[in-house]
Amino acid sequence: MARVVLEVRDVTKRFGGLVAVREMVFDVHHNEVLGIIGPNGSGKSTMINMISGTFAPSSGSIRLNGQEIAGKPAHRIARQGVARTFQLVRLLPELSVVENVMAGAAFGHRKRWGSEAESFARTLLDRVGLGRQINMPVSSLTYINTKRVELARALACEPEVLLLDEWLAGLNPTELETGIDLIKSLRDEGRTIILVEHVMDAIRSLCDRCVVMSSGAKIAEGTPLDVLADAEVIRAYLGADEDA
């Protein structure tokens, strides 16, 4: 088994009386795509937000390459090597496409500046498949291209772990195929990725392993094939079937 990059131990998050995430435990290995799946409101995004430092866990530990990152401010965690995309795409509207990607390169895990950052940004934009639209204003990009730019920005800081929060959501069937191929090719480059996803096709074809959450807790872990056949997972997604 490859080395462990991210180690999540007994992580709990309470919002007042609500327990959004309960004692989550999982590992992410180097060059692995780990899927975090589960019904709406099961705590997936909360989990991602704690890893990326949007907010601190109420208790528990999150280690990146052996170093504790739980509770650190987001910019520190980003510099240590966690990059993310957002569920609702966030681009910088007043900046050019290239500058949007340079934003990830200039302050992140491996810092680049000036012409070096710019050529790196262009390489990444090419890499994610944004060819001739590179000089368009951000506001006139198509939906999938905004997602590409955001992905390139996350890649620009050369993260140890890449968090994709429903990166494939909202794409049409053709785009979805392109998107899945793109993420697959990122894994083949040796990247480590955590994927929060609803699209089952994507989960099946992309994830090496899956962690299934329901009501804030982990209910299953294993290969996509195994967890999607798990009785408790089916119950969590579809509800209990009285006749079964």
Partner 1 sequence: MSMRDIRNLFLAALALGLVALLPLYDTGYILSIATTMAMFTVLATSWALFSGPTHYISLATAAFFGLGTFVTGLGFQTLPMWLLPIIAAGLGAVLAALVGLVTLRLSGVYFVIFTLGLAELVRQVVTWVQNRTGQRGMYVLTTITERDIYWQLIGLAALVFLVGWLIARSRLGFALRIIGNDETVAKHSGIDTAAAKILLFMISGAVAAVVGAIVAPRYIYIEPSTAFAPILSFQVVIMALLGGTGRLWGPLAGVIPFTLLWEFISRNAPNQTLLLLGVAFLLIVYVLPGGFVGLYERLRHRFGSGGQ
Token pair of 25, please?
Answer: 């435990």
Among 35, 43, 57, 108, binds partner 1 (CB under 8 A): 108
Q: How far apart are CA 85 and CA 75, in angstroms?
A: 14
Among 45, 52, 146, 192, binds partner 1 (CB under 8 A): 52
By CB under 8 A, which span of 47-55, 122-130, 206-214, 236-244 interacts with partner 1?
A: 47-55
Residue 53 makes contact with partner 1 by CB under 8 A: yes
Nearer to partner 1, 154 or 211 (CB): 154
Q: Which of residues 119-158 bind partner 1 (CB under 8 A)?
A: 153, 157
Nearer to partner 1, 87 or 178 (CB): 87
Residue 113 makes contact with partner 1 by CB under 8 A: yes
Q: Which of residues 169-208 bind partner 1 (CB under 8 A)?
A: none
Q: How far apart are CA 145 and CA 133, in angstroms?
A: 8
By CB under 8 A, which span of 62-70, 108-116, 118-126, 185-193 interacts with partner 1?
A: 108-116
Under DSSP, the state recorded for 94 is T
Residue 72 makes contact with partner 1 by CB under 8 A: no
195 CA to centre of own chain: 4
Q: How far apart are CA 62 and CA 68, in angstroms?
A: 6
Instruction: Name the residue among 111, 93, 101 with its Cα closest to residue 134.
Output: 101
Instruction: Name the residue among 115, 119, 105 with its Cα closest to residue 156.
Output: 105
Nearer to partner 1, 49 or 214 (CB): 49
Give the contacts of 107 (CB within 8 A, at least 6 positions apart).
75, 78, 79, 157
Token pair of 214, please?
Answer: 């329901």
Residue 74 makes contact with partner 1 by CB under 8 A: yes
Q: How many CB atoms lie within 10 A of CB 108?
A: 23
Among 4, 19, 56, 106, binds partner 1 (CB under 8 A): 106
Do residues 170 and 143 touch, judged by C-beta distance below 8 A? yes
Among 16, 17, 66, 93, binds partner 1 (CB under 8 A): 93
Chain residues that interact with partner 1, rule: CB under 8 A: 52-54, 73-75, 78-79, 83-84, 86, 90-95, 99, 102-104, 106-109, 113, 153, 157
